[in-house]
Structure 1
Amino acid sequence: MIIKDFKPFNGQHCETTATGSLLYQLDINLSEPILFGIGEGLGYIFWNMKIMDFPFIGGRVKPDILTENICKNLNLKLEVKETSSIKKAWKNVKSNIDKGKAVGLKLDCYHLDYFTNKIHFAGHYASIYGYDDKTAYLNDTNQQGRDARTTLKSLELARNEKGPMSSRNRSYTICKNGEQPDLKKVIKRAIHNNATDFLNPPIKNIGYKGIHKTSLEIKKWFKTSKNIKKDFQTSASLMERGGTGGSLFRNIYRDFLYESAEITGSDILFKASEDYGEIARLWKNIADLFDEIGETKDLNDVNQASEILIDLSEKERNTMEKLMNATIDESI
């Protein structure tokens, strides 16, 4: 069973790509930057645990929250199903596809046949729009080929994997829930909520405080790493090529602000887009330095990266404060 006239979403980031393809079925056609922005998706986290090979640097909100925010802000009904039963998990998906409704899936990409870089990451998303006796048909990101196929067995393993960011065979569908709200108002609310969250992190390794903390933590990481080349270069790759759109999602948020400025006619958003353009370039510098650190193992490169992170913390704080204040006083 393959859904006829299924329109694959063209995206760089897995969750916006999966959710965007479900919205296409509802005749909601929004760009990836707009989806990311109204999903209040920009964030930051420096996460380090003893069980991890090296620290994780993330640039977005927690998995699942992005889609929840998109549906909340667009007045859509999100139906999520989780189960520990493999049999029931497949039934939840199959029943929707048989009715012509695509389904969003949360997966560990390690098990998917079309992934060539085999690392465990249980926070990956794709939508499924068809199946046969052996194969599942998925819409994934451009980087993964967009029109992807994997065996039903590999899909089962990917959905049922345990570990950080995993869920119990999570699947979701979206349907309309009444009238669509005014996009200008949605954009304003989403920017305000995202900025407020970024400026008020509950712990010091999140938001702009987390960026500043990273400036200190990378020096400790450099000293204690058992494999500097692998650790720093893998981290650089995740920042630039791990479905972030480059510069740790800052390119996507820059584009969201620019498109939002065009929609609203706001000069404030045009300026904020320019600011995030500069911020994105600095994050690209961080990734380049991490690559260089992997090759040279030079402490000077670490110190340079640390200084840029301090600057980034301040620049992102300032820009988010302007956005938060602008959305309070009706400037946009």
Structure 2
Amino acid sequence: MRLATFQPQLGVHCETTTLRNMIHHAGVDVSEAMLFGLGQGIDFQYWDAPDPGRSTPMLTGRIEPALLSRNACSALGVELRESRAPDAESAHAAAAELLEAGHVVGVSVDIFHLDYFKSRSHFASHYIALYGLDDTHAHVVDTEQQGGAQRLPAESLRRARASDEGFMPSPHLYLYVGRLPARLTTHTDEVLREQIWNAIRLTARRMTEDRGPRFGLRAMRRAASEIAGWSDTLASPDEVVPAVGRFWRFAGTGGANFRKLYREFLTEARQRSGDSELDAAIEGLGDVQRQWDQAVDMLMDYPGADGRSRLQAVAALLDAIADAEQALFDGLLVAAAERAGESV
């Protein structure tokens, strides 16, 4: 079974690419950046290293998997259905049934088992959009970096969906879009404009709260303090530190990628609303993105002439980024509260 009218929609982040393909096929074209913003996707999260000394914490620049899709669909009034099959055969059968009913199916996978993926690491929080499946092959859409629309062996997809290895595995998890509200299809621009500032308010409130040492700007500052000492605390820093930089840049988890996507959301929000209050945040996020890119460059170039000093410089950059993001989201929270007639 393969969806005859399906048109692949490219994107830069796996979950928003998958969500965009599901919603677009259902009948509404919403940009990836808008979905990311309405999904309140930006964050910073710190997940403890599975093997301290030999590996680093998982540091991500976004909220938890699937939560972004739930938030975006809630904002748009879109029915999002999630389920988890008990085994590989049931997962295959459920996907085939949904395709037969005309749905694009979002599936959670471990990139290690995708034959078109170059990475040889387990990462199980990846999403792809499934639009064709039979006993031998599957047709999916991945990110632009991974080539967009791909054809892979059905057995490769089965293994990727069944994996319980890597970061935050969700074996046999799948989601699809059910009902679209009529107004979203007929008055898309109006619906988007109505939801923009509420999504900004919720995001800014979360980003400015103290949510403990694992989430938000406090987690970023914690990461900075630990990165400064990686040359001494890691068993093989010459291997591990550049790998972190490559992962942040090319696997999509790093702050620069998600700050860029959120900046694109604010830029589109500015165009749709005509609200000049967003200009300062757009400019500020551009500066933040450049600082993130600089930090990643320094990690990828490690050890260089003086590895310890390089890591201390990365730590200083992360502290500066945390300060900049605090000011940026403080400003957005005030602006959003004013538009809602609330106090901060």
Normalising by the residue count of structure 1, what TM-score does the alignment of the two structures yield?
0.95
Q: Which residue is equivalent to 1:6? A: 6
Name the aligned partner's letter for residue 62 of structure 2.
R
Q: 1:62-101 alignment to 2 at 5 Å?
A: 62-101=64-103
Separation in 2, partners of 1:24, 1:55? 36
Q: 1:144-155 alignment to 2 at 5 Å?
A: 144-155=146-157
Separation in 2, partners of 1:295, 1:171? 44
Name the aligned partner's letter for residue 49 of structure 2.
M
Task: For residues 105-128 of structure 1, give each alpha carbon's deviation from its aligned partner in whole angstroms, at most 9, with x where no partner exists.
Answer: 000010011111211000000011
**CA apart distance, 1:296:** 4.3
Of residues 177, 182, 185, the one that matches 2:194 is 185
Q: Which residue is equivalent to 1:198? A: 207
Structure 2 gaps of 5+ residues are 185-189
Separation in 1, partners of 2:160, 2:210? 32
Separation in 2, partners of 1:225, 1:266? 47
Does the CA contact (< 8 Å) of 1:56 and 1:235 recur in 2?
no
Answer yes or no: is 1:282 the counterpart of 2:287: no
Of residues 241, 246, 257, the one that matches 1:237 is 246
Separation in 2, partners of 1:24, 1:248? 23
Q: Which residue is equivalent to 1:140? A: 142
Q: Secondary structure at the match of 1:329?
A: helix
**CA apart distance, 1:291:** 1.5
Separation in 1, partners of 2:253, 2:319? 21
Q: Which moved more, 1:88-97 or 1:172-181?
A: 172-181
Q: Which residue is equivalent to 1:47? A: 47
**CA apart distance, 1:245:** 8.6
Separation in 2, partners of 1:249, 1:223? 30
Separation in 2, partners of 1:16, 1:137? 18
**CA apart distance, 1:229:** 2.6
Q: Which residue is equivalent to 1:323? A: 332
Answer yes or no: is 1:216 the counterpart of 2:221: no
Q: Structure 1 residues 57, 248: closer, same or farther in 2, change over 3 A? A: farther
Pairwise CA RMSD: 1.8
Q: Which residue is equivalent to 1:301? A: 310
Q: Which residue is equivalent to 1:254? A: 263
Does the CA contact (< 8 Å) of 2:201 and 2:333 recur in 1?
yes
Q: Which moved more, 1:229-238 or 1:36-45?
A: 229-238
Separation in 2, partners of 1:93, 1:294? 46
Separation in 1, partners of 2:257, 2:217? 14
Q: Which residue is equivalent to 1:165? A: 168
**CA apart distance, 1:51:** 3.3
Q: Which residue is equivalent to 2:187? A: none
Q: Secondary structure at the match of 1:237?
A: helix
Q: Which 4+ runs in 1 deviate beyond 6 A?
A: none
Q: Which moved more, 1:189-198 or 1:236-245?
A: 236-245
Q: Structure 1 residues 50, 115: closer, same or farther in 2, change over 3 A? A: closer
Q: Structure 1 residues 45, 260: closer, same or farther in 2, change over 3 A? A: same
**CA apart distance, 1:328:** 0.8
**CA apart distance, 1:273:** 0.6
**CA apart distance, 1:286:** 0.6
Q: Which moved more, 1:129-138 or 1:245-254?
A: 245-254
User: Percentage identity across aligned positions?
Assistant: 27
Does the CA contact (< 8 Å) of 1:12 and 1:245 recur in 2?
no
Name the aligned partner's letter for residue 177 of structure 2.
I
Answer yes or no: is 1:175 the counterpart of 2:206: no
Separation in 2, partners of 1:294, 1:226? 14
Name the aligned partner's letter for residue 330 of structure 1.
R
Separation in 2, partners of 1:97, 1:182? 28
Q: Which residue is equivalent to 2:34? A: 34
Separation in 1, partners of 2:2, 2:248? 34
Separation in 2, partners of 1:199, 1:246? 17
Name the aligned partner's letter for residue 132 of structure 1.
D
**CA apart distance, 1:96:** 0.8
Separation in 2, partners of 1:5, 1:216? 51
Structure 1 gaps of 5+ residues are none
**CA apart distance, 1:83:** 2.4
Does the CA contact (< 8 Å) of 1:228 and 1:297 recur in 2?
no
Q: Which residue is equivalent to 1:116? A: 118
Normalising by the residue count of structure 2, what TM-score does the alignment of the two structures yield?
0.92
Task: For residues 95-144 of structure 1, give each alpha carbon's deviation from its aligned partner in whole angstroms, at most 9, with x where no partner exists.
Answer: 01112221000000100111112110000000110123311100111111
